[in-house]
Structure 1
Amino acid sequence: MKVTNKTVSIIMTVLLFLVVLLSNLQYLAFNLNFYINEFDKYGVKYVTGMDKSQLSKVALRIQDYLYGKSESLQIDAVIDGQNQKVFNDRELEHMRDVRKLFENGFLIRNLMIFIYILAFLFLYFRKEDVFYHTYRGMLFVILFLLVTGAIVSLDFNRWFIYFHHIFFDNNLWQLDVTRDKLIQMLPEGFFSDISYLTFRNSIITYIIIGFVSFLLKGKKDSKIGL
């Protein structure tokens, strides 16, 4: 089957779109300052009974666990003046699923980077204007993300539930806010904020990529003409 330049350019656009989106999500998911700001925003210390230092300690454990630096999520913390274990069995089971999701996300993102480089080189050696294709692709990506972001923001809870049904084959994610520390620390507003910032940062990245590609498009051909 003959592979056309247009097909490869579409694949490149999709790959770049997903790589940037996943990378921005990863940046926030492992940014302790983001967690601390969210804890302050939602008054998490009053809900959990943990002060700022204890919340930071638990947040670091969550990040280390999801990144694969720690084999166990469980941690002791001072809650309402007493040292005790933070998470129950249901929370630990759910986070095992979340960790698997992150591991697969890292693997897929890195694989997409590799395929993107191959696609880029494929077009380059066919003497295609790769930057022109990238510029056009970013225009579509930005428009798509703006529309998608607007739709999701109208009813985030609905799409948040859809997300869990798609990526989890159990109901362990349905936690009790009156009892489970995980959802007390990371309420729905936390995920709404991380989604918004991921979208916003990604759009900024796409604009930069698109602008640079616009400046570079046609440069190769003009040099060849000289």
Structure 2
Amino acid sequence: MNRFTASLLKVFIAVTVPGFVLLMSVLLIFQPWFLGYEYAKRDFPPDMYGFSQEDRLQYGLMSISYVTAVNPEFDIDQIADSDNTPLYNQREVEHMRDVRNVFQIVRTVWGGLIFIYLGIMTFSWRKPRLIHAFMQGLFIGSMLSLIIMVLMIGASLLVFDQLFDSFHRLFFSEGSWLFYENEALIRLFPLKLWTDGFVAVGILAFVFSMVFLTISRDSEKKISFYN
């Protein structure tokens, strides 16, 4: 039973680590700080329909805050421009609510994985076979994550349109993410923002994977030494 449990544990960790790393990176990048960073870049495209840099920053940060907050202080349809006209039309409002729901699910799943990992480590305490299996799973999962992130970064740079389309088809209903270039969502969150965001997520996830790979490798050496 102990050997079976160890094998099961190794497989579980190996399979879930790539998702854990990716979700963690998404949660860290999809934040107000990244929007401010992108808007400040010299090569970030200006809005062709009248938003100033200050307008973009104000409306963009409010929109991101709505998506990421556990209990937002306002609904997305309450955001208005300087003329007190609603910033988003009904289709945009519905999409932003969908985005918020997906983001909250991502955060819940990621938090659940942390809870499970902590429970596993507590249960495995003073059980060398299980600790060994955990570290083996972490090593394998980190290797898988590195491969996936390299592919993701490459796809973001070479075939971003297909990647972006596939991503939205996975999480949203058909066509609900398509908008005209003069609509507020596209003006605030143009294609370059998403291209840079996907690459940033891939790079950050790659770094996390390398950290976990190093931790698991060094821990494996210590376990082997003490055994």
Give the TM-score band, short-chain normalised.
0.7 to 0.9
Aligned length: 218
Please, which runs of 5 or more residues in structure 2 have no aligned partner? none
In the alignment, what sits opposite 2:103?
102
Counterpart of 2:106, as a letter, is G
In the alignment, what sits opposite 2:169?
165
Asked if the contact 2:21/2:145 (under 8 Å) is kept, the reply is no
Is 1:13 the equivalent of 2:17? no
In the alignment, what sits opposite 1:60?
61
- Cα distance, 1:58 vs structure 2: 0.9
What is the 5 A alignment of 1:113-192? 113-128=114-129, 129=132, 130-178=134-182, 180-192=183-195
Asked if the contact 1:87/1:181 (under 8 Å) is kept, the reply is yes
**In structure 2, how many angstroms separate the alpha carbons of the residues matched to 1:56 and 1:9?**
45
Counterpart of 2:35, as a letter, is Y
Is 1:75 the equivalent of 2:79? yes
**In structure 2, how many angstroms separate the alpha carbons of the residues matched to 1:160 and 1:65?**
22
Is 1:42 the equivalent of 2:40? no
Matched residues, percent identical? 21
- Cα distance, 1:176 vs structure 2: 0.7
Asked if the contact 2:149/2:202 (under 8 Å) is kept, the reply is yes
- Cα distance, 1:125 vs structure 2: 4.7
Counterpart of 1:140, as a letter, is L
CA deviation profile, 1:141-195 (whole Å, cap 9, x unmatched): 21232134324543110121122222112422111113x1111211222111111
**In structure 2, how many angstroms separate the alpha carbons of the residues matched to 1:30 and 1:164?**
19
Counterpart of 2:210, as a letter, is I
CA deviation profile, 1:85-135 (whole Å, cap 9, x unmatched): 321111111111111111111111111111222333445554222334423
Please, which runs of 5 or more residues in structure 1 have no aligned partner? none
Asked if the contact 1:66/1:98 (under 8 Å) is kept, the reply is yes
Asked if the contact 2:135/2:216 (under 8 Å) is kept, the reply is yes
- Cα distance, 1:37 vs structure 2: 3.4
Counterpart of 2:10, as a letter, is S
**In structure 2, how many angstroms separate the alpha carbons of the residues matched to 1:47 and 1:70?**
30
Is 1:89 the equivalent of 2:93? no
In the alignment, what sits opposite 2:197?
194
In the alignment, what sits opposite 1:22?
23
Asked if the contact 1:13/1:137 (under 8 Å) is kept, the reply is yes
Asked if the contact 2:17/2:145 (under 8 Å) is kept, the reply is no
Asked if the contact 1:12/1:120 (under 8 Å) is kept, the reply is no
**In structure 2, how many angstroms separate the alpha carbons of the residues matched to 1:165 and 1:140?**
24
